[in-house]
């Protein structure tokens, strides 16, 4: 066993109101520099929809992630040799057209217009070339455009859905959608790291955050193609790739990442998971429908005496183990089994998990209320407006079992809480429903607490990062007493 700790995340999709506060918080801190205007380390997509960059889930086009060949893993976009022949021109790399060209407006024109019958207008100006442009796409261009034949109908997750199911999704007045906030998944088997020829990308040992060493990045661009979630971005100005850093300077000082901190819907949870790193390759090479379970099995019980002993042997600090014991992510993913990783079939073992959305599924019942009678207690997920198959394509490699489990449990808890607070459901029925959904009163209360009432400190359990030890490995802090500091003192200036 090789136990490591990983800062992991859960997003509860039912709670996301699509306000994009998270994206703005991130943008303000990290990506309002030249060359990064188009980047959204955190973005919120409307599903069904094509996402950002357009159709990022289409791995026929972008060749992101891994593929399995006779039990062996290899990068879909490249192999070792191909990374050299493709280095001059990367055939799978998205270009700015697949994202959008950032722009501002020529506001000056509003202040000194020539006399005319029309109102003066501020024409859009490209933030790249500084010239007037026609805007073709922008951030969240397909926001709320469910039902659109340009966006929603081209969602790659509609694959394997019957025509009937599609028609149902797109019938006017029955349109269905939900929000899908995305950041880097800080995967256990990151394709970006594996693809970087320079070795500039790495996973931090102590917390699993995936980073790009800006000094070693040489703009070979492999990571942009290799990340199946398209969460590494190319900074065209500095000539370096950049990505979500999980706000590590904040995390190291005990603060939640900006998108987590600012989330209005309080959909976000962050905590430590202990896992067995020896199982990474084996798990990632399994058949698609087994990965969800196997990845869950890699996550270890932080209360288990053996696990604690092994973790300590591996140098994991007591404070980290304690954080793992209080981790909300552990509860959602492992204990309750209601949070699922996105697109396991990319085989990167993402460590951001999603609680699949119940709302659109429930309202499948022809707009009627959910019935409270015994037999009909569960909404008929098979008749759902949002086909389970669709969610399964997103969150469990096509296997409906896991999605169904998560939805049934949530639905039973909702009924149970309704019985408790409103009382128009017989509590006995509700309890029976809980048992049928593999839950219990205690668990229902715990989930209710976590989802609806949890406080800031319960949602974000951030371990001390012990940077004091990190520093001592490289430098003697006392040596630098009375100096101006030490570290990365070079100005990040574009090369000649």
Residues found near ligand SF4 in the complex (CB under 6 A): 16-22, 44, 179, 181, 263-265, 267
291 contacts 347 by C-beta, under 8 angstroms: yes
Report in angstroms how near the CB of residue 77 gets to ligand SF4 at its nearest: 29
Residue from 27, 203, 343, 417 binding other proteins (CB under 8 A): 203
Does position 495 interact with other proteins (CB under 8 A)? The reply is yes
Q: Pick one of other proteins, ligand HEM, ligand SF4, none as the site partner of residue 263 (Cβ within 5 to 8 A by kind).
A: ligand SF4
For residue 390, what are the contacts with CB-CB under 8 A and spacing of at least 6? 48, 157, 158, 161, 165, 169
Does position 130 interact with other proteins (CB under 8 A)? The reply is yes
Strand partners, 275: 4, 299
For residue 354, what are the contacts with CB-CB under 8 A and spacing of at least 6? 10, 11, 12, 13, 180, 339, 340, 341, 342, 395
Of the two residues 87 and 137, which places its CB atom closer to ligand HEM in the complex?
87
Q: Please state, in angstroms and rounded to a whole number, the distance separating the CA atoms of residues 356 and 358.
A: 6
Q: Please state, in angstroms and rounded to a whole number, the distance separating the CA atoms of residues 335 and 342.
A: 19
Of the two residues 17 and 96, which places its CB atom closer to ligand SF4 in the complex?
17
Q: Pick one of ligand HEM, other proteins, ligand SF4, none as the site partner of residue 19 (Cβ within 5 to 8 A by kind).
A: ligand SF4
User: DSSP character for 157?
Assistant: G
315 contacts 207 by C-beta, under 8 angstroms: no
Of the two residues 220 and 336, which places its CB atom closer to ligand HEM in the complex?
220
Report in angstroms how near the CB of residue 189 gets to other proteins at its nearest: 7
194-213: b (≥16 Cβ within 10 Å) or e: bbbeeebbebbebbbbbbbe
Q: Please state, in angstroms and rounded to a whole number, the distance separating the CA atoms of residues 39 and 50.
A: 17
Of the two residues 22 and 188, which places its CB atom closer to ligand SF4 in the complex?
22
Residue from 19, 87, 294, 464 binding ligand HEM (CB under 6 A): 87
| H/E element, 82 | helix 80-85
Q: Which of 326, 338, 407, 340 is nearest to 370 (CA)?
A: 407
Residue from 141, 143, 153, 202 binding other proteins (CB under 8 A): 202
Report in angstroms how near the CB of residue 385 gets to ligand SF4 at its nearest: 21
Contacts with other proteins by CB under 8 A lie at 80-81, 83, 88-91, 93, 95-97, 101, 126, 128-131, 189-190, 193-194, 196-199, 201-206, 214-221, 224, 234, 236-240, 280, 312-318, 466-467, 469-470, 473, 490-496
Contacts with ligand HEM by CB under 6 A lie at 87-88, 220
């Amino acid at each position: 066993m090789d136990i490591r700790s990983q800062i992991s995340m859960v997003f509860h999709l039912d709670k996301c109101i699509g306000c994009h506060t998270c994206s703005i918080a991130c943008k303000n801190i990290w990506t309002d520099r030249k060359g990064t205007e188009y980047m959204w380390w955190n973005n919120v997509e409307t599903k069904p929809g094509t996402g950002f960059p357009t159709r990022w889930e289409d791995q026929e086009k972008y060749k992101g992630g891994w593929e399995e060949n006779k039990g062996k893993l290899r990068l879909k976009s490249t192999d070792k040799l191909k990374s050299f022949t493709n280095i001059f021109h990367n055939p799978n790399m998205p270009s700015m057209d697949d994202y959008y060209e950032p722009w501002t407006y020529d506001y000056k024109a509003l202040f000194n217009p020539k006399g005319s019958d029309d109102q003066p207008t501020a024409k859009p100006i490209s933030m790249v070339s500084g010239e007037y442009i026609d805007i073709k796409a922008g951030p969240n261009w397909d926001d709320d455009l469910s039902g659109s034949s340009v966006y929603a109908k081209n969602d790659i997750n509609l694959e394997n859905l019957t025509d009937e199911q599609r028609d149902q999704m797109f019938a006017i007045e029955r349109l269905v959608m939900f929000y899908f906030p995305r950041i880097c998944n800080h995967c256990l088997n990151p394709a970006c790291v594996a693809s970087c020829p320079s070795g500039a990308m790495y996973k931090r040992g102590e917390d699993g955050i995936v980073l790009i060493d800006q000094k070693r990045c040489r703009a070979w661009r492999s990571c942009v193609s290799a990340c199946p979630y398209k969460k590494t971005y190319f900074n065209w100005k500095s000539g370096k790739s950049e990505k979500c850093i999980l706000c590590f300077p904040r995390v190291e000082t005990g603060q939640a990442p900006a998108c987590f901190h600012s989330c209005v819907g309080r959909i976000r949870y962050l905590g430590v998971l202990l896992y067995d790193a020896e199982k990474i390759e084996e798990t990632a090479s399994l058949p698609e429908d087994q990965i969800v379970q196997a990845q869950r099995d890699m996550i270890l019980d932080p209360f288990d005496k053996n696990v604690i002993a092994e973790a300590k042997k591996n140098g994991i600090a007591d404070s980290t183990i304690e954080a793992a014991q209080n981790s909300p992510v552990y509860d959602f993913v492992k204990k309750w089994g209601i949070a699922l990783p996105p697109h396991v079939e990319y085989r990167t073992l993402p460590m951001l998990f999603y609680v699949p959305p119940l709302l659109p599924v429930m309202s499948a019942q022809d707009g009627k209320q959910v019935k409270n009678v015994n037999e009909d207690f569960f909404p008929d997920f098979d008749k759902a407006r949002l086909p389970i198959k669709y969610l399964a394509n997103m969150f469990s490699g096509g296997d409906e079992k896991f999605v169904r489990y998560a939805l049934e449990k949530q639905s039973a808890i909702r009924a149970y809480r309704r019985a408790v607070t409103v009382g128009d459901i017989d509590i006995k029925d509700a309890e029976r429903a809980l048992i049928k959904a593999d839950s219990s009163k205690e668990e229902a209360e715990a989930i209710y607490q976590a989802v609806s009432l949890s406080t800031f400190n319960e949602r974000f359990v951030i371990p001390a990062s012990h940077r004091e030890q990190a520093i001592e490995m490289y430098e003697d802090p006392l040596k630098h007493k009375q100096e101006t500091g030490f570290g990365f003192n070079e100005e990040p200036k574009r090369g000649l």
